[in-house]
Structure 1
Amino acid sequence: MILEKLNLSGKTAFITGSSQGIGKGIAVAFAESGATIILQYRKGKAEVESVAREIKALGAKVYIVQADFSKSRAVAGVYKKVLSVVKQVDILVINASVQVGDAWLNVSQKDFDIQVTTNFRSTFQLMQKFAPDMISNSWGRILTIGSVQQVKPHPAMIVYAATKSAVLNLVQNVAMQLADQGVTVNNLAPGVIDTPRIDEKIPETDERIHKRMETPVGRLGTPEDCAAMALLLCSDAGNFITGQNIFVDGGMSL
């Protein structure tokens, strides 16, 4: 019975930032569970096409849309693109984000704006666009991908960490409003996950900060670690879970 509730056959999932990393891991897991997948990418078309081929090999339907969520009209545009290829979206996973590493005193307005716009404003707008149809259908799942930095902010990622905390507040607010309408809204907060992002250069920190950011289990997480929790939260098995912040971080948040 539980395994049946994890089945996503007949559902359509739109996963932003799904050309690599956590987004790709979630897209593949949902395809394995029977969902139709819509992939979104900002750049790197070859990467997202490779993910689409992997999903097709699983026997799932897959579509690709392009959008740059740092642009003011991006959400409205991607909404039209998505509904041009599918009738509805049952599951919305908001994973796309921008992370700019710099000492907080050096953060420029440009770097501030691109992170706030991509990570927070577009999340709010995506919820505004896709939630109404879920409400009409009395079934929907919205999952945002946050970060352990909500509680352990890295000093060189002050804006990124702040946007992730803001998204959690948004999740809790919207979840309360949609709780009795068949739509759950949750936040999955990864720790240090083995994705291309961990290779991005950031300023070095002193030893006391470095120790605070260690992962107790002693290894990096994987996209599959996040995908397993995402599948639970976005299936019928997770129908009694809403407004929650769930860490997948190897104990880093402790």
Structure 2
Amino acid sequence: MKIDLSGKTALVTASTGGIGFAIVQGLAECGADIVLNGRSEATISRAQQKLNAAVPGVKIHSAIADLGSAQGVDAVLKGLPHIDILVNNAGIYGQKDFYSADDDTWEQYWQTNVMSGVRLSRALLPKMVEKEWGRVVFISSESARNIPADMVHYGVTKTAQLALARGLAKVAAGSGVTVNSILPGPTLSDGFASMMAEEIARTGKSLESLAKAFVMSQRPSSVIQRAATVEEVANMVVYICSPLSSATSGAALRVDGGVVDDIV
């Protein structure tokens, strides 16, 4: 199986690190041109250097903006080349007691996790439909189906992404454009590493061993009984962005290690 994305341009939001960077590297290795998105020139510059080293000759555009507002999305859209592949990866998460999560917290999560994808899809999907080829992907979470009691605000936004992707797949029906969601489970991302930094320093344990302990205590239904790597998540995304996935649209595809305990 060979994935060839030559001549395609991919915008991956929040792509300077973690899952987002693994996705752009995977897409670039298959020949795609890349639009990197981050919130600062410094993070974009570091990501460009890293991507150039990993995939020499890759064509890179940059889009510096925080996508938590309409103004940020507008800033990304200015000067973009035609986008064939949109991966809505931008998102925030964090534990918070439901009773102390105020309206501002809910609004912040909604704007970043949901409305950024709404705004970008609204702007970019029509041209994909016109060209009769395109891929739109939402990076959701197993928390969309397994709402955490300590992150209800986050889980609700991730469920909303599934509904949005399914609806957009119907909007683009028959056009050659597909819209899908990817649901990672616990993943060895930069965010998880930051969350575990104090514990690593205190115990001297590796990130992988702490992640495994987290999975077994907090997600005991996991079948693989460990956290996934960012590359494992990216592999699924690269496939669903490729011409090989043309019969898959409106789907919610899990890379959760079997955390969600069902067979569908």
TM-score with structure 1 length normalisation?
Answer: 0.89
Change (3 A) 1:210 1:151: farther
1:40 aligned residue: 37
Q: State the Cα distance separating 1:211 from its structure 2 match.
A: 4.5
Q: Tell me, what secondary structure is at the counterpart of 2:248?
A: coil
Q: 2:45 aligns with which of 41, 46, 49?
A: 49
1:238 aligned residue: 245
2:19 aligned residue: 22
TM-score with structure 2 length normalisation?
Answer: 0.86
Task: Specify which structure has the bigger relative contact order, considering alpha-carbon pairs within 8 angstroms and separated by 6 or more residues.
Answer: 1
Q: Alpha-carbon deviations, 1:92-140, whole Å to 9, x = none?
A: 0000011132111110222111100111111111100010110111100
Matches within 5 A, 1:147-186: 147-186=141-180
Runs of 5+ unmatched residues, structure 2: 197-214
One-letter amino acid of the counterpart of residue 54, structure 1:
K
CA distance in 1, matches of 2:173, 2:50: 35
CA distance in 1, matches of 2:71, 2:43: 24
One-letter amino acid of the counterpart of residue 67, structure 1:
A
Matches within 5 A, 1:117-132: 117-132=111-126
1:229 aligned residue: 236
CA distance in 2, matches of 1:211, 1:171: 31
Matches within 5 A, 1:1-254: 2-3=1-2, 6-43=3-40, 45-57=41-53, 58=55, 59-81=57-79, 83=80, 86=81, 88-198=82-192, 199-200=194-195, 211=217, 213-214=219-220, 215-254=222-261
CA distance in 1, matches of 2:87, 2:145: 22
Say if 1:23 and 1:95, in contact at 8 Å, map to a contact too: yes
Say if 1:37 and 1:62, in contact at 8 Å, map to a contact too: yes
**Which structure 1 residue ranges, 4+ long, deviate > 6 Å from structure 2?**
none
Say if 1:152 and 1:213, in contact at 8 Å, map to a contact too: no
Change (3 A) 1:239 1:111: same
Percent identical pairs in the alignment equals: 31
Q: State the Cα distance separating 1:48 from its structure 2 match.
A: 2.8
Query: Bigger CA drift: 105-114 or 20-29?
Result: 105-114
Say if 2:52 and 2:58, in contact at 8 Å, map to a contact too: yes
